[in-house]
C-alpha cells in the first residue's frame, strides 16, 4: 500500500509533511508516519504533529482529509497465487504420472493391488 497525492499523483513517503485540507484541524501541518488498516477494512493515515509540552501528538485520519488516496499494490498477491498454482499443477502432474505408472504394474507384475486397480479401471475384475 502506498499513499498517493490526488493532485500530483506522486507517492508520499513516510516522514513527509502533509497539510490537512479539510476537517477539524484544516491547514495544520502533519508528519506522515504510516498507513493503518482499520478493523472494518478501510485504511487511515497515521500522522503526528508537533505540540509544545506534549512532544508529538498522534492522529489517525482518512486520507481524503489530506487530499490523498491509498493505492493498494497487489502484485505480491498475484505472485504468490501464480507460484501456488504452478506448484499445484506440477504436483498434480506427478500424481497422475504415478497413477498411470501403477497400471502396467497391475497387468504385468504381481502387484498386491492389481485386482483392485484393474477392476477400478474397468478392465474386467474377478
DSSP-derived letter for residue 63 is G
* 25 contacts: CB under 8 Å, gap ≥ 6: 49
Q: Name the residue among 88, 78, 4 with its Cα closest to residue 45.
A: 4
Q: What is the pTM of this model?
A: 0.56
Q: Name the residue among 49, 68, 70 with its Cα closest to residue 58.
A: 49
Q: Could you tell me what percent of the chain has a pLDDT over 70?
A: 89
Q: Is 76 exposed, middle or buried (0-12, 13-18, 19+ CB in 10 A)?
A: exposed
6-30: pLDDT as tens digits: 889 899 999 999 999 887 778 889 9
Amino acid at each position: 500500500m502506498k499513499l498517493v497525492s490526488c493532485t500530483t499523483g506522486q507517492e508520499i513517503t513516510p516522514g513527509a509533511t502533509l497539510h490537512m485540507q479539510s476537517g477539524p484541524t484544516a491547514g495544520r501541518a502533519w508528519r506522515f508516519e504510516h498507513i493503518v488498516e482499520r478493523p472494518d477494512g478501510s485504511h487511515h493515515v497515521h500522522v503526528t504533529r508537533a505540540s509544545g509540552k506534549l512532544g508529538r501528538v498522534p492522529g489517525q485520519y482518512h486520507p481524503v482529509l489530506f487530499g490523498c488516496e491509498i493505492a493498494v499494490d497487489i502484485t505480491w498477491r498475484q505472485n504468490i497465487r501464480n507460484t501456488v498454482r504452478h506448484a499445484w499443477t506440477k504436483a498434480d502432474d506427478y500424481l497422475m504420472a504415478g497413477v498411470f505408472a501403477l497400471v502396467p504394474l497391475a497387468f504385468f507384475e504381481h502387484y498386491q493391488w492389481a485386482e483392485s486397480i484393474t477392476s477400478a479401471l474397468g478392465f474386467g475384475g474377478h
